[in-house]
Amino acid sequence: MGRRSRGRRLQQQQQQRPGSAEDGGKRNGAGWEGGYPEIIKENKLFEHYYQELKIVPEGEWDQFMGALREPLPATLRITGYKSHAKEILHCLKNKYFKELEDLEVDGQKVEVPQPLSWYPEELAWHTNLSRKILRKSPQLEKFHQFLVSETESGNISRQEAVSMIPPLLLNAHPHHKILDMCAAPGSKTTQLIEMLHADMNVPFPEGFVIANDVDNKRCYLLVHQAKRLGSPCIMVVNHDASCIPRLQMDVNGRKEVLFYDRILCDVPCSGDGTMRKNIDVWKKWSTLNSLQLHGLQLRIATRGAEQLVEGGRMVYSTCSLNPIEDEAVIASLLEKSEGALELADVSSELPGLKWVPGLSQWKVMTKDGQWFASWDDVPHNRHTQIRPTMFPPKDPEKLQAMHLERCLRILPHHQNTGGFFVAVLVKKSSMPWNKRPPKLQGEPAVPQASVLPNLVEPTAGSISDPSELESKLAPGISDTEAMERAENVENSGSKKDGVCGPPPSKKMKLFGFKEDPFVFIPEDDPLFPPIQKFYALDPSFPKTNLLTRTTEGKKRQLYMVSKELRNVLLNNSERMKVINTGIKVWCRNNSGEEFDCAFRLAQEGIYTLYPFINSRIITVSLEDVQVLLTQENPFFRKLSSEAYSQVKDMAKGSVVLKYEPDPTKPDALQCPIVLCGWRGKASVRTFVPRNERLHYLRMMGLEVPAGKKRAGAAGAPGAGTASPAEPEDGVDAASPAEPEDGVDAASPAEPEDGAGAEQEAGLDAASGGDPAGAGLPR
């Protein structure tokens, strides 16, 4: 009876509701779209606040507000350091973009994507296509599949245009030691990794990126982003950026403080510059968010400035238009640096970018609309909410010397972007509370460029976490003295050689996911000589940089880091919580011993490893690559005569398949391709993730429909019985699924709510868990 009564009552209410049927479900003009109320893009307090502060040039307010109410254009960036970036760009311009010409979707003409005028080498593009149209329009299905697949392969990044600016202004080079303080979700981090690998012929750049985020779960999203680029020079750590530990490195047997050449400080912010994509901001906007975040932003920026090497560059950025989060933080930081920091003039560094100068005067407004022009006007009961650092400096000369006009403000209506703020700081000398600064050496090749000598050797002590002591030291103590004291209490006797365990349990028990240790392979480990012999590794191969993630049992995966990151790992295991580092280069075969080597190559790290391999290399033609990527286990006879002559007398086991472009044939694919494969008894196969396989086929002009399995996967000659069907989640069709304990390159399995990164990533699914004969050609 109760259920029927409720049903009748609901029906009556629906009939009485004005406009419920006549306007197709829209109510009072606000409307219901998909069951959700439409958000009105108006906020009177927002308009009042920014009109009063005059953040928009005279006469442009209506254009500014009009742009904010329009949806944000989709933007994409081509990964710059990949050798085939030009091929992707050529494919985009001459195939996919041409197909969009004169195309109409839902009555709206599709705008052909245009390059961002200020981004170098036409590697960034924007279009008016929304995500909804891209997903649901049949005409755009092929273009959408291309974007998704290439994004998962790491060849394209979907990134907001203004978000690309800070890494460009950081001006990073391959020898720089870089800290990204608030890195998740990782789009800016990937740009920094690209800059490290500007020269693709150098597998191990001298520099590295340490990417940090305070949110443990978001760190795994960061890992997923970084892993797409396959770099041995990235480390993901999990700390509060405002008190991120000071690290140290071993230089000629002596512990020295690590200072960074470049620091990206993209701080948490109120995000009112993102109204075009985060429409919730319209109804939730209040000055209270900015007032609450100002203190944290200043602490993070200060900690970054402390860890910057003298002569280094730090970029501070927010996606907020509020001067309390922008110029107020910069002014306060400059004031307390007492000349140690200065704003760099970067007006000519990105030609084509439109921006307005930073503000030099602003006021503070409470959430209820009350204004204060100076700290003296703030009543005592407001002192906890409003702080003196939120106001511009009183002294006109001091204010003028700060050159706040050098800050860049990007407004949405100027180039159809989001709103953004960015400031570039250069460190001229040590901070006032750091007495003995490090010196930035002129030669980039000097490994000590970013470290400070420490005069006291560590001695045994009783405190397990030296960073705890450091955080309690008085601010007047120099960097060197802080590190000396921290080292004096480090319990060095409890560490095993080459093992970098997680931080003490007291640091971990409250949150996060327990990490496995990082264990470097000892030089005399019997595991390595068979690998070295089988692949004829060059004597210059840095075998001490190999690591695994287990201290017991068989080593299933081998990872590789750069020499500098190895140094950081070994000397800071008690100070930092490392989520992930290293790139997978070898995986164990359960049946591998019968092939003279227990480990086969992993596609993920092949571009890093290839320069050191002198054996097991098969040079293939473009036609061979097509056969290998579209057929399951092609017989040797299906390959070209050149490839056949190389493979026929080779012993069974893991191989490298290398395609070198022919410059005399400009119409053919002009980027080199290196694939991991397996030479069976009578056939050969590749171990390549699905999205990467599709990428290479596209570059060769072949479009493979989504969900289509390799030709020959069932019943084709040479297919054998080796391969399971292709899984739906994008894992390589040509191999058995990876074991659960090998989900990510150098990290444990993600928590269920950790963005599902690995499931989407198209892993190197041909992992170390191959049962005898299960995934290998016979």
Other beta carbons within 10 Å of 132: 9
Alpha helices in 523-562 (DSSP H): 528-534
Reduce the DSSP state of residue 408 to 3 states and report it: strand
Q: Tell me if 266 is assigned to a ligand binding site.
A: yes
Q: Which phi and psi (to 5°) does residue 767 adopt?
A: -90, -170
CB atoms within 10 A of CB 330: 24
To the question of whether residue 373 is assigned a binding role by annotation, the answer is: no
| Residue 701 assigned to a binding site | no
187 known member of a binding site:
yes
Is residue 184 marked as binding?
yes
Q: Which residues pair with 686 in a beta bridge?
A: 677
3-state secondary structure labels for all residues of 4-67? HHHHHHHHHHHHHCCCCCCCCCCCCCCCEECCEECCCCCCHHHHHHHHHHCCCCCCCHHHHHHH
Is 182 labeled as ligand-binding? Answer: yes
Q: What sign does the CA torsion over 744, 745, 748, 750 have?
A: negative
Strand partners, 158: 76
185 among the known binding-site residues? yes
Using CA atoms, how far apart are residues 739 and 589, in angstroms rounded to an integer? 12
3-state secondary structure 158-198: ECCHHHHHHHHHHCCCCCCEEEECCCCCCHHHHHHHHHHCC
Torsions phi, psi for 223 (to 5 deg): -60, -45
DSSP string of 426-480, one letter each residue: EE-S--TT--S--B--S-TT-GGGGEEE--S-----S-S-HHHHHHTS-TTS-HH
The residue whose two tokens read 């009876």 is 1
Question: What are 195's two structure tokens?
Answer: 């800059």
Comparing CA positions, the residue from 248, 242, 177, 237 lying closest to residue 483 is 248
Gap between the Cα atoms of 107 and 593, Å rounded: 63
Q: Which of 602, 589, 522 is nearest to 559 (CA)?
A: 602
Query: CA-CA distance, 435 to 451, in Å (whole number)?
Result: 15
Catalytic positions = 319
d(C-alpha 530, C-alpha 430), whole Å:
50
Q: Which residues pair with 558 in a beta bridge?
A: 586
Determine the Cα–Cα distance for residues 608 and 602; give it in Å rounded to an integer. Answer: 11
Q: Determine whether the annotation assigns residue 269 to a binding site.
A: no
The DSSP code for 506 is H
Residue 333 tokens, joined: 């930081």
Q: Which residues pair with 125 in a beta bridge?
A: 76, 115
- Cα separation, 420 vs 283, in Å, equals 20
Detail the residues annotated as belonging to a binding site for S-adenosyl-L-methionine: 182-188, 213, 240, 266
| Binding site members | 182-188, 213, 240, 266
